Amino acid sequence: MEHILFLTGRLAEKSLLRVLESLAPAPFTWQVREIGVQVAALMTADLIRRRLTAPLQADRVIVPGRCQGDLDGLGNHFGTPFERGPEDLKDLPQFFNQKARPVDLSGFDVTIFAEIVDAPRLEVAAICARARHYREEGADVIDIGGLPATPFPQLEDAVRALKAEGFRVSVDSMDEQELLRGGRAGADYLLSLNQDTLWIAEEVPATPVLVARENGDEGSLYQAIDWCERNRRSYLADSILDPLPFGLLSSLCRYQRLRERYPAAPIFVGIGNLTELTEADTSGINAILLGICVELHAAAILTTQVSNHARRAIREADVARRLMYAAREQRSLPKGLTEQLMTVHARRPFPDTPEEIGEIAAQVRDPSFRVQVASDGIHVYNRDGHHVAADAFSLWPRLKLEADGSHAFYMGVELARAQTAFMLGKRFVQDQDLDWGCAAPPPAKES
């Protein structure tokens, strides 16, 4: 059985022991060593090298998640692999479970069409710049949207420029001539053709997205599908997803009937009618919609990022399609695979109880403030006291930082984060930004 050495600091030692004892029966044997630092997060690779002596009687060494330094170098020095654990001790059980069952989220079978809805008003360079951004967010096909009664003279140039950059391109218009122009310029898909406009599919090689003559006219959609299959033409079939509360359930039933009638048909779902037209957090909406699409074995979705509240819709859809695909393929519920769609709340927001925080606070002997969040509010403590409140302003008079501007600024930032975490039910870790999942911009890449 594997034997693991856990390194920790004085304040966290008892908590670490409790968590490890709670793992019983653990799939490994273990030893805890406090190496002479008060705060585990201040541990560094250099400090560990100075205070540990070889040989280590362990198969693996776990250090605190915020330990800084070269762990590979430590492993080479001691002849034992070193590894960072989770940033919070309470996550150790999940940490070891994830190590045993790594989750592969690289797979998906739903293609994302991302629409540039105002393309006729943009120059070609701006269209390409928007397309590059959408591709970074997870889009597979760039959809150029036409606008009613709005000339689109740069349509052909836009299609060619996008194709030159390696994009797959669709043209989305109610104007038959724009569809024809887009197809002749090299578009890969045309949105949308019905039974009356299928003649366009005879003129250009682009794959048509098929819709009914009128919304709800399933018979005409089926006839368009039959035409494509008789003529051995590729297609995507769209039953049209209606917004809430104006027919969503009926439209979902149409999609189900479409799947039952054509078991192998490549189905297309426009999800923007829900994400754009419902003023609710889009991460949850995308989770539900992509779950339905994966269950339906849909081939593609069309999404947009127009409304401010939907500005992460493409990235959310990308995460959701991977999450739901993994759940379906593993025959498991979509839980415990990724927290990227948990944008507003956390699965376990308060890992420490008020009593546990109080026990740690009683051991502190230095003036540095620690900030933690529990179910009863924001906890701030140092050697001079332990204070708890539901809002940051109530805590401020107790900190006595009026003469220390830089420290006051730091504590203001940390307490604001802590209050947000407490109000929403998010995980708070001092000196770190709150984790907003895929709703926040990704960290800037280092140059």
Domain end marker among 296, 330, 364: 330
Give which of 381, 397, 378, 400 is closest to 389, Cα–Cα.
Answer: 378
Q: Are 397 and 380 in contact (CB under 8 A)?
A: no
Q: How far is residue 63's CA from residue 86's CA, in Å, rounded to a whole number? A: 9
Identify the CATH number of the domain in which residue 9 sits: 3.40.50
Q: Give the residue from 100, 135, 161 where a domain finishes.
A: 100
Query: Alpha-carbon distance 390 to 289, whole Å?
Result: 36
Kind of pairing, strands 268-270 and 300-303? Answer: parallel
* Residue 338 belongs to some domain of the structure: no
For residues 191 and 317, membership in a common domain is answered with yes
Beta-bridge partners for 379 = 372, 388
157 with 259, same domain: the answer is yes
Give domain status of residue 447, yes or no.
Answer: no
Cβ atoms of 304 and 119 closer than 8 Å: no
How many Cα atoms sit within 13 Å of 171 on the Cβ side?
A: 33
- Residue 394: half-sphere exposure toward Cβ, Cα within 13 Å: 11
- Clarify whether residues 326 and 257 are in a common domain: yes
> How many whole angstroms separate alpha carbon 187 and alpha carbon 172?
10
Q: Do 29 and 4 contact (CB within 8 A), yes or no?
A: yes
CA distances from 161 to 124, 164, 205 (A): 7, 5, 19
Q: Domain containing 236 — which CATH number?
A: 3.20.20.20
Same domain? 42 vs 134: no
Asked if residue 268 and residue 184 are part of one domain, the reply reads yes
Which of 216, 197, 286 has its CA nearest to residue 255?
Answer: 216
User: Residue 370 domain-assigned?
Assistant: yes
Residue 347 falls inside a structural domain = no
- Asked whether residue 256 falls in the same domain as residue 157, the answer is yes
One domain, residues 149 and 295: yes
Say whether both 89 and 131 belong to one domain. Answer: no
* Residue 284: both structure tokens together: 């949850």
Q: Looking up tokens 């019983």, which residue turns up?
A: 24
Collapsing DSSP to helix, strand or coil, 113 comes out as strand
pTM beyond 0.85: the answer is: no
Distance CA 272, CA 116 (A): 12
Domain that holds residue 25: 3-100
1: its two tokens: 């059985």
For residue 189, tell me if it sits in a domain: yes
Degrees, nearest 5: CA angle 355-91-45? 105
- Give which of 308, 274, 309, 278 is closest to 291, Cα–Cα: 274
| Amino acid in position 128 | C
Number of domains comprising the chain:
3
The answer to whether 416 and 433 have CB atoms below 8 angstroms apart is no
In a domain, 344, yes or no: no
Nearest-5° angle of CA 336, CA 341, CA 342? Answer: 75
Answer yes or no: is 335 within a domain: no
Q: Are residues 266 and 121 part of one domain? A: yes
pLDDT in single tens digits along all 447 residues of the chain: 899 999 999 888 888 888 888 887 788 999 999 998 888 878 999 999 999 988 899 999 999 988 989 999 999 999 999 999 988 887 888 788 755 555 789 999 999 999 999 999 999 999 999 999 999 999 999 999 999 999 999 999 999 999 999 999 999 999 999 999 999 999 999 999 999 999 999 999 999 999 999 999 999 999 999 999 999 999 999 999 999 999 999 999 999 999 999 999 999 999 999 999 999 999 999 999 999 999 999 999 999 999 999 999 999 999 999 999 999 998 888 988 899 999 999 988 998 899 989 988 998 999 999 999 999 999 999 999 999 999 999 999 999 999 999 999 999 999 999 999 999 999 999 999 999 999 987 766 554
CA distances from 403 to 269, 366, 381, 397, 416 (A): 60, 19, 19, 12, 20
Q: Does residue 25 belong to any structural domain of this protein?
A: yes
DSSP annotation of 149 reads T
Neighbouring residues of 230: CB distance < 8 A, sequence distance ≥ 6 = none
Kindly report the number of other CB atoms within 10 A of residue 133's CB atom: 13
Among 71, 100, 129, residue at a domain's last position: 100
191 shares a domain with 90: no
Q: Is the dihedral of CA 33, 34, 39, 41 positive or negative?
A: negative
Distance CA 112, CA 138 (A): 7
Same-domain pairing of 41 and 133: no
Same domain, yes or no, for 301 and 376? no
